[in-house]
Amino acid sequence: MSLKIGLQRLALPTFERLPLRCASIPTPFRTATRLPRTFPRLPSRPLSRPLSTATASIPFPSPASASTSSSSATAVQPVVIPRSLPNWLFGCSALVFGIVVIGGLTRLTESGLSITEWEPFTGILPPISNAEWDVEWEKYRVSPEGIMTNSKIEMSEFKKIFYMEWAHRIAGRVLGVAFIVPTIYYCTRYKLPRALPFKLAAIGLGIGFQGVIGWYMVKSGLDQEIIDTNSVPRVSQYRLAAHLAAALTLYVGIVSTAIGVRRDMLGKTYNATPAINRFRRLPFVALGMVFFTAVSGAFVAGLDAGLVYNEFPTMGGRLVPPTDELLDKRYSKKEGDTWWRNMLENPVTAQFDHRVFAMTTFAVLLSIPFLARRANVMRNTQRWANGVALAAVGQVTLGITTLLYLVPIPLAASHQAGSVVLLTTLLGLLGTLRKPGSAARAIRAIQTR
């Protein structure tokens, strides 16, 4: 009976009247709406038109209403995806992108160790009076960098590096507020599809975690041990890599959520032929490879490894540097750790590894448009596939020129930003090959009945 009521509702022409399947709907209803293995293109009109209003209200029967009878009309619970939600998520991802760029500039201008404390709430405002500036300056002058490399720094210079690091931290706080406040609003005001609040909560936690890991990284450059052992005052390359990896994970999480929500709202799917399904695995692999290469780039940056072997494709006139240089025993601390310690602590090996990972990734990225064409993908997918190859060419060119010109700030910052652009093109490509989420699947099932 309840199914009957459900089917009557399906026949209604407007989107607002369509019942959606969700995980909480009892099995008989679920079985009745099971999807075929392929996902032919959905007619987007009936979905997109009502969604062009401020919000799209998508009612679906609650478990009670699906299993009882005519009382279901009153028990319908609306799932609502506000139209602003994916736009807001795209805005947040743009903020993350901006913060990655500011973070790169902070590192490249050697400003990251200028603020010697972490006060998430009280440290929002920069020093204002001269007395406040003097306090901050004094704290910096007794830090490893203040003692060992910047002992003669003027107040005007100090203010520059202080403002750089302050801008990076304040941008992180802006992201936190710009994400958390709307998340609370959307989650309390609307009944979102079931998985979405969990995803938003995970992203929110990720933003907080990013702040913690950022401070953990800065702390490694303020360690007294640096003064005691007379080593270079810079942050640990391990923590720098973790900070970058967390930022990229956050970015990927926000963008893929935004793309998923928007495509579900528009009822988009892809033409899942066997060839396209096979091709679909490639951008996933490529995404992992770009991520891995980017993290290896953080080791190059953290070890200042862009300042050795400033030539390409050779290193000291050979494609591969001598083994005793790549596997230098001096980096080993105990038996069996030579190879990984060299990979993560020896600038020559870190640079060599980054080259190898980058060129392997580059080859895979270049193959994407050709394999996409062979799989006969939709035009939109092909465009994104071409975009991936283009972004890859740009990124490799930036990497090589950064190396040849001894890491000038504009090139190095663009190279770091380029890795985010590359990830974006891959996410765009994957978006066009995305299987419909539960909301879209339900609508699709309803329409085929």
Instruction: Output 19 or 347, the one with its CB closest to ligand HEM.
Output: 347
Q: Using CB under 6 A, pick the residue from 415, 434, 441, 444 that binds ligand HEM.
A: 415
Establish if 290 lies at the interface with ligand HEM (CB under 6 A).
yes
Contacting ligand HEM within 87-146 (CB under 6 A) = 104, 108
SS3 state of residue 285:
helix
Using rule CB under 6 A, residue 21 touches ligand HEM = no
- Token pair in block for residue 77: 């619970």
Span interacting with ligand HEM, options 29-37, 371-379, 395-403, 424-432, rule CB under 6 A: 395-403
CA–CA dist 435, 269 (Å, integer): 6
3-state secondary structure of 350: helix
Looking at residue 318, the DSSP 8-state letter turns out to be B
The answer to whether the bond into 313 is cis (omega within 30° of 0) is yes
Token pair in block for residue 105:
């500039």
Which window, 60-68, 217-225, 277-285, 294-302, contacts ligand HEM (CB under 6 A)? 294-302
Q: Which is nearer to ligand HEM, 108 or 377 (CB)?
A: 108
Quote the longest CA-to-CA distance of the chain.
83
Site size for ligand HEM (CB under 6 A): 30
Q: Tell how far CA 290 is from the center of its chain.
A: 12
Contact criterion met (CB below 8 Å) for 60 and 6: no
Site for ligand HEM in 420-439 (CB under 6 A): 422
SS3 label, residue 290: helix
Does 240 interact with ligand HEM (rule: CB under 6 A)? yes
Under DSSP, is residue 80 helix (H, G, I), strand (E, B) or coil? Answer: strand
Q: Of 326-365, which residues contact ligand HEM (CB under 6 A)?
A: 354-355, 358, 361-362
Side-chain half-sphere CA neighbours of 92 within 13 A: 32
Q: How far is the CB of 100 from ligand HEM (least distance, A)?
A: 9
Q: What are phi and psi of 60, to 5 degrees?
A: -135, 155
301 touching ligand HEM, by CB under 6 A: yes
Tokens (6 digits) for 26 = 């009892």
Binding mask 59-98 for ligand HEM (x = CB under 6 A): ----------------------------------------
Contacting residues toward ligand HEM, per CB under 6 A: 104, 108, 240, 244, 290, 293-294, 297-298, 300-301, 306, 312, 354-355, 358, 361-362, 395-396, 399-400, 402-403, 407, 412, 415-416, 419, 422
